Structures are given as structure tokens and as C-alpha cells.
Amino acid sequence: MLLIKGSNEVKKAISFLKNSRKTIGFVPTMGALHNGHISLIKQSKAETDITLCSIFINPLQFNNEIDLNTYPIKIENDIEMLINEGVDLLFLPDKSEIYPENYKPIDFSFDGLDLIYEGKLRPGHFMGVANVLKIFFEIIEPNYAYFGQKDYQQTLIVRKLIELLKIPIDIKVCEIVREETGLAMSSRNVRLNETNRSNSGFLFKILNELKEDLNNISVEEAIELAKSKVALNAEASCEYLDVLNRDNLEKWEEGYIKNQSIILSAVKYGNVRLLDNILI
């Protein structure tokens, strides 16, 4: 695996590969890799000639200083995992490589999609994600870019970004990978204490039960029932739990076709935010 820190070196390598008609799959990450990331890498390896992975903890997308300062860093372990997976290129830039001094973030317009759910709870988060991805996309010019369904709202924002930038990148959304308990894999799961980690499957179970309940009771009743089940867990508090149109995250209304919906949730468990969703 080639490890590159400079964007000009990445551009040179990519231009050489593109001249040789190689397709490029891009897996952006913030490191602390787990099997969720590995599934994106495996899909890219299966679908493209060259897989490039980036590791960059993007300060612009953190609305909370403590979250940024405690974000897990495991760079040596990450590099070993990427080598084992046969990743071709690792882009590992410093902050100054991505954001030159006086960098002015672009204020994209996502028609309000960046201001609801995760965007409402983490003001500025999606602007930070969009800015860093624009920079990465311009350096790497991938044919495909791989994202996990766990961060479902992010995948919609990325699709809108691609439309706004008018760049021909095919966005691939890969299924959620889960721990044995059912907990959706996330780099932040290491912050759960042992007891909470082993009990953390409750959210996935509740979402599945909600999906079943939609066949028998009204959407509003099913959502309230699911929220009351979350509340039975001493350390859990529901931030949002909704049944939404999966294309735009508008509220589910009578008349929507159920199989175009998504159950979207965020639950604070101890000091960790768990994000999860199920497509209906």
C-alpha cells in the first residue's frame, strides 16, 4: 500500500492510474477503523481497479470540542487493517494540507436537509462534511465513493453535493454492519462502558419491532410505542425516532408507500450517541 500525505502526490498518482484506464474507488474515513469500514473497502475492491482510502479527522464537522478531542485515534492499527485488506493507496493528510490558512468554508444550500435530525442536533455538521468531501473529491476524482448506510442522512447530503458540484461520481451506500448484539458499528462505540456495550442491542430490536408494528397500528402509535421502549433503558434517551420518506426525510404521511420509507433514530446511551436506521 502506498501511503501519501500530500494532495499533489495523490493527484499525480491518480492521473497516472487514470491514464492507464484504471477505475478509482474512494473510501473516506476518520480512522479508528472497524468492520463497517472494511465492508466499504471490500465492496470497492470488488467493483473497482484501485481502492483509495483516506483517514482525516475533519475538525470542521465537529460541533462539539469534547467529541473532537476524544475521537478515537488508532493510526497504526488502521494502517495494518488497510494493508490486510489490500487497499492500494492511503491518503493521510495533515490539517493544513486540506484547509490552508484562511480557508473559508463554503455554505452549500441543501434545501434544509442539513438542518433537520442530525443537522439540527449538530449545527454545522453537514457543512463540515460537505466541505471536506468537496476537497477530497477534487483531489481524488474517484469514479465511485463508498459510504455506510448507518449515517443515512449523510448519504443524502453527499448525493446532493454531487448534484451541486456537477461531478460524475457514483455514490455507493453499503449496508450497516452490526456487532453481535445488533449494535450498528461505529468508531465511537469504544466509548461505551462494558455493560452498555453488551446491552446496546436494544435499539436495533426496537426498530425491528416498530417495523412489524407498522402492519398493525398507526405510524404515530408505533413511533410512540418504540419511544416508550427506549425509555425503559435507564441510561438511554431518545433524540429522535421517526418514520420518514427515505428520499428526503420528510415525515411519513398517510398515502406514502411504506416501502419508500426509513425508520431513522438517534439515542443517547450513557455518553455515546447511537445512530441506527432500517429501510422499510
Instruction: Please identify every residue annotated as catalytic.
Output: 37
**Taking CB under 6 A as the rule, does residue 277 contact ligand PAF?**
no
**Residue number, 30 or 243, with CB nearest to ligand PAF:** 30
Strand partners, 244: 251, 262
Binding-site size for ligand PAF (CB under 6 A) equals 10
**Residue number, 27 or 249, with CB nearest to ligand PAF:** 27
Question: Of these, 25, 28, 36, 142, which contacts ligand PAF (CB under 6 A)?
Answer: 28
CB of 96 to ligand PAF, least distance (A): 17
Q: Where are the alpha helices (DSSP H) in the chain?
A: 7-19, 35-47, 65-69, 75-85, 95-98, 118-121, 125-140, 152-165, 194-199, 202-213, 219-231
Query: Which of 157-166's residues contact partners 24+ apart within 8 Å by CB, and which partners?
Result: 157/110, 157/113, 157/114, 157/126, 157/129, 157/130, 158/129, 158/130, 158/133, 160/108, 160/110, 160/111, 160/113, 161/108, 161/110, 161/130, 161/133, 161/134, 162/137, 164/108, 164/109, 165/134, 165/137
**Neighbour tally for 63: CB within 10 Å:** 15
**Residue number, 174 or 207, with CB nearest to ligand PAF:** 174
Determine the 3-state secondary structure of 186 from DSSP. Answer: coil
Q: Which stretch binds ligand PAF (CB under 6 A): 28-36, 79-87, 100-108, 204-212?
A: 28-36
Return the axis-axis angle of helices 219-231 and 202-213, rounded to nearest 10°.
160
CB of 28 to ligand PAF, least distance (A): 4
Q: Which stretch binds ligand PAF (CB under 6 A): 72-80, 126-134, 198-206, 231-239?
A: 126-134
Each residue 33-62 as x (binds ligand PAF by CB under 6 A) or -, in order, gives: -------------------------x--x-
**Taking CB under 6 A as the rule, does residue 131 contact ligand PAF?**
no
Q: Which stretch binds ligand PAF (CB under 6 A): 26-34, 193-201, 227-235, 252-260?
A: 26-34
**Taking CB under 6 A as the rule, does residue 153 contact ligand PAF?**
no
- State the residues that interact with ligand PAF by CB under 6 A: 28-30, 58, 61, 129, 132-133, 151, 154
